[in-house]
Structure 1
Amino acid sequence: MTLVAFNSPPGKGSYLTVRAARGAVRRAAPARWQGRILTGAGLALLPWLGYLAGTLPPAEAAAWVALDALEAAALLAAGHRLLRGDTRHRAPAAAAAALLLADACIDLATAAPGQELATAIAMAVGAELPLAALCAALAVRPTPEH
């Protein structure tokens, strides 16, 4: 590392410039906790996929497992990139926001009145919509310049 620092010309191609271009720069505290939240939510969806597959009728299970698997993949990608300080977190965050919003809307539209609707409202208000809002905010916020 020392040899690279002494032998590289300043500016283009220097060690720090290359590290910054690869996203290996130190992350701010908000990016770390946001990355942890998204990664944790993505990981929490994995056992949920098994539950859905085992409890829903096959036709419904295929649709819900596919939707939630896409959500998990987008959340894990965005969270992992945030934790690494990679500035390419916006696309998976935007995808996760759209998928979470769609999931909440479909849950509310298809829920039967009573306990099922109350559960759908609780999931939307307590998890899906706040997570979608965080993802949307991450998708649109400007990337800090290195």
Structure 2
Amino acid sequence: MITCVRPAPVPSETPVDLPSSARWRGRVRWVGLGLIGSGLALIPWLVVLAVGLPASTTAAHWSTAWVGLDGLEAIGLITTGVLLNRRDPRRCLAAAVTATLLTVDAWFDVTTAAPGADQATAVAMAACLEIPLAVLCAVLAARTVPRA
């Protein structure tokens, strides 16, 4: 019987820039501040959009946009399921992205639907399918994050 034993790692003589180093923390801090600034900079733009956008519009590639979004959701659900069954640590990322896509789809389905039957269908699909799947994926994402 042959047994494979991994040799113990040899300590490096050169210092390694580990994520816990002060240099790394400084970079992360600047990136974090940049993201906060970007989010705050969007607030005036949101006001401009809310005041300036027309109530209705025509989109040249409307079906392409919806088919693309739903296609990404399908890929996300399949990927999350495959990675979950394989116990792959990346399953948390796939689940988080899929939860986001499902939430965005529900939002745009409901807010762009025509009043009446179309809106009722959009609300029913959001309430009974998209949001529950999004919550499931969000819970999977939170519970499957690899522990250090």
TM-score tier after normalising by the smaller chain length: 0.5 to 0.7
Unaligned stretches of 5+ residues in structure 1: 13-56
Structure 2 Cα separation of the partners of residues 134 and 98 of structure 1: 11
Q: Which residue of 2 aligns with 1:116?
A: 118
Structure 1 stretches of at least 4 aligned residues deviating more than 2 Å after TM superposition: 6-12, 142-145
Q: CA–CA distance in 2 between the matches of 1:93 and 1:77?
A: 8
CA distance in 2, matches of 1:61, 1:106: 13
Q: What fraction of aligned residue pairs are identical, expressed as a percent? A: 46
One-letter code of the match for 2:95?
Answer: A
CA distance in 1 between counterparts of 2:139 and 2:8 reads 32
**Aligned equivalents of 1:93, 1:128: Cα separation in 2:** 14
Q: What are the residue-to-residue correspondences of 1:119-138 with 2, within 5 Å? A: 119-138=121-140
Aligned to 1:94: 96
Of structures 1 and 2, the one with the larger relative CO (CA 8 A, separation 6+) is 1
| TM-score, normalising length: structure 2 | 0.59
Q: Which has the larger radius of gyration?
A: 2
Contact 2:92 2:145 in 1 (8 A): no
Pick one of 8, 18, 23 that aligns with 2:5: 8
Q: By how many angstroms is 1:142 displaced?
A: 4.6
Alignment partner, residue 84 of structure 2? 82
Please give the alpha-carbon distance, in whole angstroms, between the structure 2 residues aligned to 1:140 and 1:10: 34
What's the Cα RMSD here? 2.6
Aligned residues: 99
Q: Which has the higher helix share?
A: 1
